[in-house]
Structure 1
C-alpha cells in the first residue's frame, strides 16, 4: 500500500504541452489509493480536456472562480480547495505560472488556491530549454523552494521545440514515486524497524485438534499498518488468521504454535528498534502430541500440559536499546496485574485490556485500553476503533522515544 493511500491530492494543471500527461498522472495517484481533484488554468484546457480529467478522477474539474450550472452560478471556493488537500501538486508548472507563484499574483483559480493552501506543495517544471535556463526561471525555483515548496526536477530529453536538453516534465510515474519517497523520508519512524506479534497460537493435541484462543489478530495487524504509515519497516509475526497486510513495508511471517513464534521472534529481535507483543500466545501446550487422531471414548480424556516459552519475558531479558511493549488481558485486579507484568518482564510500556469492558477484547472492531508507562503512570483511554488505538499507541511510543 502506498503512503498516498487515503490521501487527498489536488492536482494543478497549467498551459504547457506536457499537460497531456496529467491524465496519466491522475491515474497514477488513483492507483496509489489517493482521492484526486483537479484545477486547471483556463488556457490548460487547450491541451487536455476537463472531461478527460473529470472522468479519470471521478470528480468535477475546476478552472474558474464561478462555474455555470445551467442558469445558476456556482462559486468555486479556492480556500476550501486549499484546505481540502493533503498535497497540492502542480504539474506541469509552466514558467508563467511559476513566476506568478513567486510574486503572489492571483489572476486565476489555481493561483488563488496555491496562495490559500496549507498543505505541502510540489511543482514539476515543464518548459523549453532556453526558458528553463533563463535566470528568471532559476530565480522562481529558488524563491519557491525558499517558501517551502518542493521542486520535482525536470528531466533532459527531446522537447516540443525539437531541442534536446533539460525542461521536460518528469514522467507521471516518477512524479508519484518522488512524492512517495519524499513523504516517507519525513515520517517519524523512517529508518526504524519494528517487530510486532499478532493473533493466537494453536498448540496441537493430535493431527486434528488443538488448544487455542479467540484472538483474531486484528489489533496487531492494525499496529503493523499504523507503523508502516509512519515509515517503519515492520516484521509482523502472526499466528493463524485470515487477515492480510497492505503495506509493502510489512514483512509478514506466519506461524502456528508458540514455539514457532518464539523461534521467529528470537530470529528478528536483535534487528529491531521497537517490539510490540500483541499476540495472544498460549501459556500451555500438551506435553505429548498424539501421532494419530484421538478416538472418542466413554472415559474422560486427560491431557497433560506444560508451559510454553515466555516470548515477552525472553525479549525483556535480552533487550538492549529496544523499546518493548507488552499487552495484558485481565479480568480482575486489572491495573495491579498489568503493573506487575510490566515490572517482571522488563517492559517500557504495557497496554491493558479488560474483558469487563463492553466493546473490548477478541473479535471486535473496537477496543478500550489503558496505557501504563514504565514509571507507573496510568493513562486510561476511551472506547475507540482498533485503528485509532493503534495510532494512539504509536504516538505515545514516539513521545517516549523522543522522536
Structure 2
C-alpha cells in the first residue's frame, strides 16, 4: 500500500490550506455571530451570509464536490484515498465542509442519488444539490426503537396505486431544520413479512410534501447546530409517487450499506483534522501560560499527553488511509472491518485529545472563547452517530472470530451494522 499523496493531491492540499487560512479561519467569529444575531431576532434557522459568500470562491478555486468519485456529473470527484487529506483539513473548522459542498448529510444523500436514483430524480434533486443551491435530510433513526439495529424501524411505506403512503416518526433527521432543505430520503418498511434485510426501502420526497411536520429541533449537549440542525419529524399519510422509490422495494439495506460506508470514513477524516487543531491549540496554550513560576508546557504530565496525542493521531490517520485505499481497490464490502475499526478509533481518539486540550485551557476550554467545547460535543456524538461503538466492535469481533472457525465463507457471512444512532 502506497499512501504517498499524488502531485495532484499535494497541489490541491496546498490550495485548500491557503483557502482555509484566507477565508475560513478568519470568518469563524463572523459565522457564529451571524447565527447569534439571527437567534436574537427570533429565528436561528437562517442560512448564514458568510457561507453563501464563500461557496462561489471555493468553486472558483476548484475545491468543490471533491467527495464524489466515479460520477460523470462530477468529473472533479476524488477517490477516497485522494479525498482523505483534504477532508481532514476541512475538519479543523466544523462549518468548513459546507463551503466546499462536502458536508453531511448532503454528501451521503448525493452519493445515494447518484448510485440509486432514476435520471428524473437526479435532474430534480441531485443536480441542485451538487450546485450547492439546496440542502437535504436523511430520515432513518427513530425515537421509539433501538435504531442501532435498523431492522427495528417501524415506519411504513405502503403502496396505494401509483403512490406510496408514508407513516412514521423519525428523529436526528439532520438538515430538516434548514430552510434550504428541499428533499428528504426516508427509510421505512414496505413488506414486514419479507426477510429480515428485505423489508426496508428508501424513497425520496420533497420536504414540503403535505403530511410532513417538523416537530422540534434536537440539541447536542445544548448546541442546536443552527442553521443546519437536527429534527424530530412526523410523517403522517405522506403521499409520494411510486417513481420516487430508490432502486426498488426491499433494497433499503443494500442502499444503506453503500451510503454509510463513505459517510463513516468522511467523519473519521474530519475527526483527524479536529484532533490536529486541538493538539495545536493545546501546545500554544501550554507554552503561553505560566503557573507556579514556570511555563505549563514544562510540566512532564503535559509532555506525556502531547506525545500520546501525536502517536494517536498518526496511528488513526494511517488506519483511515488504509480503509480508504481498500474501499478504492477492493470495495466497501471487503473493507468492512477496516471501516468499522476506524469508526471506533477516530472519534475516541479525537474526543480524548480534545479533552486534554480543554484541560490545558482551564476555564477557557469550556466556554465560547475557544472552539474546543463545540469540537468535543461533535466528536462525542460521533461515538453514537452512524453506528455506536458497541455495534461496530461487535462486528469487528465476529469478523475476527470467523477467521478462526471452520465456517465456509465465514468472514463473508458476517453482517455489518446499518445504523445511524440509538
When the two structures are superposed, what TM-score results if normalisation uses the length of structure 2? 0.21
When the two structures are superposed, what TM-score results if normalisation uses the length of structure 1? 0.21
Considering only CA atoms, is the larger Rg found in Structure 1 or Structure 2?
1
Relative to its length, the structure with more helix (as a share) is 2
Relative to its length, the structure with more strand (as a share) is 1
